[in-house]
Structure 1
Amino acid sequence: MEEFVKPRVIVSKCLEFQECRYDGEIIRDQTVQNLMPFVQFVPVCPEVEIGLGIPRDVIRVIDNDGVDQLYQPANKLDLTKKMNDYSEQFLAEIGEIDGFILKNRSPSCGINDVKVYAKAEKSPVVRTSSGLFGSQVLQRYGNLAIEDEGRLKNFTIREHFFTKLFTIASFKKLKKEGLLADLVEYHARNKYLFMAYQPTILKKLGNIVGNHEKKSLQVIFEEYEKQLYKLFEKLPKYTSNISVSQHLFGFFSKDLNSKEKEFFISMIDKYQKKKVPLSSVASLLRSWAIRFDNDYLLKQTYFAPYPEKLIEISDSGKGRDYR
């Protein structure tokens, strides 16, 4: 069974960790609960850290000639500098980090869909943006796995977040150890996962690992990391998953009888028509890898890119709509 690296993840403290929301409440979140055994959480509440109490008067983001400002109308407080200074210092000092789960729509932590008002007092919403802390997270760590708890309720977004989080955390551990043999092995077991994401980048990663130009280890790891971040910029398309499934099927086709081959073809057809989830096709292929004792395929992260216990019962039958 795959042993996963334990990623270090910054999380909004009001999500499962402390009653520090503006109204003094704590927010229960299933994804954060599920992740607790598998990640090292670093909880933070920027609003409390800059001196606002619990509970506290509402703060909002306002538009000042196109510049986002953080304001507390009840006390006529401009909190922009305090929040920006705190965010910059916290993120500069936090050390190695692998991902973020932040409170959605929060004027401090939100990463999108944060309401921006025309002015401090009663006024209309003129646009949406990121919160002030969330904005600095995106600027400094935009390549990492970053989501809010609202979007993580969507299966496809959550699966991508988990995959990116654990795959990149695993790479960063290898980079720290700096052994080319480990990178070669990492690339081999991620081959079909990477193929599902972006086949062209898989090829570039293979060329980097091949090191035909005899580059230094440091350059190899840096170039590989750069392409790895590009790989995860987009979610896999369902057509890519079909292509990967057909590649994997090729390992067994000569050993299968005609009915088994027909069944696989029918499963691909049903997946293409959204009648069965990707997990059904993957489970079939994995069962053949076990049956024929194909150790190379059983090590492929495509079948399990993150801890299996993170899959919720409600996730059963999902996983078709990659875009």
Structure 2
Amino acid sequence: MNDLENACKPRLVVSRCLGFEPCRYNGQTITDDLVESLKPFVEIITICPEADIGLGTPRQPVRLVQQGDQVRMVQPSSGADVTGAMHAYIDRQRAELTEIDGFLFKGRSPSCGPSVVKIYSSDLKGSSAIKGMGMFAHAAIKAFPYAAVEDEGRLKNFQIREAYLMRLFALARLRGLERASSASAISTFHASHKLLLMCYHQEQMRVCGRIAANHEKLPLQDLVQAYATAFREALMQMPRQSNIINALFHGFGWISEGLNSAEKKLFLDALEEYRDERVTLATLQHLLKSYVIRFDHDYLGSQHFLEPYPRALFELSDSGR
């Protein structure tokens, strides 16, 4: 990893129980393969809101309870209401956490779960519940609306994991760009992310391109801010397979004139296999990278789409959910 890549390491907030400390309510830790794989490539900040506000480990479970228009965090076994302590902790963390690219949370946690967390109608046993977000996760998503956010359970799905990693590392590279000293750096950055942006949102990719061209002659600081906002907005949705296929066609188009008919057929057949989910995106990316080497194609070779995150993080395992 070169100095530039080190400078662009994603800053990732991770639930501490995911392999760092035995701080779950039952005194256990959870070994997570993805977290272990990420350690050399990201800057990790760990949090455990429930332990950090002094509930101890092990501890009796807390739950979220809807009271009017407010959600409170209570400990049914003791009757303790720790909502105020949790809000104070959230305020401290909001002030301390800066330049965050993503969150990797413990799923279903009343503090950290980013989705499908039970919010009960009361603290009584057997009370009904609806699904929502953990208290810390909800505040984090509001404070960092563009960050890549997932829980460890959903990241066992191959497609969700791949999209999460693509977004996480792109956001980290964008932070590097925000320290750019020239408009040409923005233009170069955009050119190298063209295919990647195409996977997420093609119209927003064009918006980014118009900003990078800077026909309005914006001052550098305004230009960087406008581009960074548009880039982050482009990454807000999951990449669609149809968009990814379009990006692959574009990359193929840049070098197809140098290929013979058999080579063209090989790529197009592989593209159809990807469409039918019989091969992974990595198969097509490797083919394009082989053409970069063969034709010494600098522009195609500059595309982060061909290797959007470190290859060591590529893992074919899939929960199927």
Please give the TM-score of this superposition, normalised by the length of structure 2. 0.94
Does structure 2 retain, via aligned residues, the 8 Å contact 1:117–1:123?
no
SS at match of 2:61: coil
Q: Which deviations, in whole Å up to 9, do the C-alpha atoms of 1:278-317 show, x marking residues without a partner?
A: 22222222211211111221121011011111112537xx
- Distance apart, 1:116 and its partner CA: 1.1
Give yes or no for the alignment of 1:79 onto 2:90. Answer: no
Contact kept, 8 Å, 2:270 with 2:279, in 1: the verdict is yes
Q: CA deviation at 1:200?
A: 0.8
Match of 2:21 in 1: 18
Aligned match for 1:153, one of 118, 143, 156 = 156
Gaps of 5+ in 2: none
Q: Tell me by how many angstroms 1:212 deviates.
A: 0.6
Once residues 172 and 257 of structure 2 are traced to their aligned partners in structure 1, the CA distance between those partners, rounded to angstroms, is 37
2:251 corresponds to 1:248: yes
**8 Å Cα contact 2:158-2:316 kept in structure 1:** no
Change (3 A) 1:98 1:273: closer
1:192 to partner: Cα distance: 0.9
Alignment counterpart, residue 64 of structure 2, candidates 58, 61, 66: 61
List gaps (5 residues or longer) in structure 1: none
The CA distance in 1 between the partners of 2:118 and 2:241, in whole Å, is 34
Secondary structure at the aligned position of 2:65 is classed as strand
Alignment match of 2:121 (pick from 112, 118, 121)? 118
Instruction: After TM superposition, list the pairs within 5 Å mapping 1:1-323 onto structure 2.
Output: 4=5, 5-312=8-315, 314=317
Residues 230, 95 of structure 1: alpha-carbon distance in 2 compared, 3 angstrom cutoff: closer
SS of aligned partner of 1:9: strand
The answer (yes or no) to whether the contact 1:19–1:26 under 8 Å persists in 2 is: yes
**TM-superposition CA deviations, 1:218-247 (whole Å, max 9, x none):** 111111111112111112222222222222
Contact 1:13 1:44 survives alignment (8 Å): yes
Q: Distance in 2 between matches of 1:88 and 1:180?
A: 36
| Aligned alpha-carbon RMSD (Å) | 1.8
Is the Cα contact below 8 Å between 2:241 and 2:275 reproduced in 1? Answer: yes
AA matched with 2:285: A
C-alpha separation in 1, matches of 2:300 and 2:161? 25
TM-score (norm 1): 0.93
Contact between 1:88 and 1:136, CA under 8 Å: does it hold in 2? no
Distance of 1:261 and 1:177 partners within structure 2: 39
Q: More displaced, 28-37 or 242-251? A: 242-251
8 Å contact from structure 2 (residues 204, 234) kept in 1: yes
Letter in 2 for 1:103: K
Percent identity for Structure 1 against Structure 2:
38
Instruction: Give the Cα–Cα distance (whole angstroms) in 1 for the partners of residues 311 and 274 of structure 2.
Output: 22
Cα distance in 1 for residues equivalent to 2:44 and 2:300: 32
Q: Tell me, in whole angstroms, the C-alpha distance in 1 between the residues paired with 2:160 and 2:265.
A: 32
CA distance in 2, matches of 1:271, 1:96: 35
Shift of 1:265: 2.3
What secondary structure sits across from 2:71 in the alignment? strand
